[in-house]
């Protein structure tokens, strides 16, 4: 679409898009504080759709004449992975991803990627997690998310 082409070609347009997103978020906040009705719900849906569209344009907008690259946005998948890392470190007392120095971190990237899932752990590491977790967690602790329901 022509609007997308203008955004990609025009440097500095990111500020205009960010400003518009802030305006929409402010309007969204005002609408949420009002009593809900059909018109308010419809406008909220429009605002959310527009914010997502503008955010996609911001991601494509050049910064100082160059396309900017950013880290992936936070998501539920990232949160679940991070929770797993924290849980592993709490249960084992070891860092899942050691980073004592930059060179070690860069050279062990393949090892880090392998450890990003439980399948990347060796049997010795899995046994250590199991042994430490069975000693620490009492039988009355909820062990499954379904038990919470």
Q: What is the mean pLDDT of residues 89-94?
A: 88
pLDDT at 112 over 70: no
Question: 60 in the Ramachandran plot: left (φ > 0), alpha (ψ -120 to 50) or beta?
Answer: alpha
Higher pLDDT, 101 or 80: 80
**Contact predicate 13/61, CB 8 Å:** yes
Q: Are residues 35 and 80 in the same domain?
A: no
Q: Are residues 51 and 83 in the same domain?
A: no
Q: Are residues 80 and 142 in the same domain?
A: yes
Token code pair at residue 22: 């802030």
Cβ neighbours, 10 Å, residue 12? 11
pLDDT at 109 over 60: no
φ and ψ at 67, to 5 degrees?
-70, 135
pLDDT at 22 over 70: yes
CB-neighbour burial class of residue 62 (10 A; exposed 0-12, middle 13-18, buried 19+)? middle
* Mean of the per-residue pLDDT values of the chain: 72
Q: Are residues 33 and 83 in the same domain?
A: no
pLDDT at 83 over 60: yes
Q: Are residues 32 and 89 in the same domain?
A: no
Residues 6+ apart with CB under 8 A from 96: 85, 88, 89, 115
CA nearest to 20, candidates 49, 53, 54 = 54
Domain span at residue 121?
A: 76-148
Length in residues, the chain:
149
Q: Are residues 87 and 44 in the same domain?
A: no
């Amino acid at each position: 679409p022509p609007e997308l082409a203008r955004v990609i070609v025009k440097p500095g347009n990111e500020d205009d898009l960010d400003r518009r997103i802030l305006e929409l978020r402010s309007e969204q906040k005002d609408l949420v504080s009002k009593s809900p009705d059909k018109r308010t719900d419809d406008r909220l849906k429009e605002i959310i759709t527009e914010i997502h569209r503008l955010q996609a344009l911001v991601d494509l907008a050049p910064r100082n004449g160059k396309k900017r690259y950013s880290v992936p946005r936070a998501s539920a998948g990232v949160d679940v992975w991070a929770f797993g890392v924290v849980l592993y470190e709490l249960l084992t007392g070891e860092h899942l991803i050691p980073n004592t120095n930059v060179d070690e971190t860069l050279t062990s990237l393949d090892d880090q990627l392998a450890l990003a899932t439980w399948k990347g752990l060796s049997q010795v590491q899995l046994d250590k997690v199991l042994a430490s977790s069975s000693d620490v967690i009492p039988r009355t602790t909820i062990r499954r998310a379904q038990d919470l329901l």
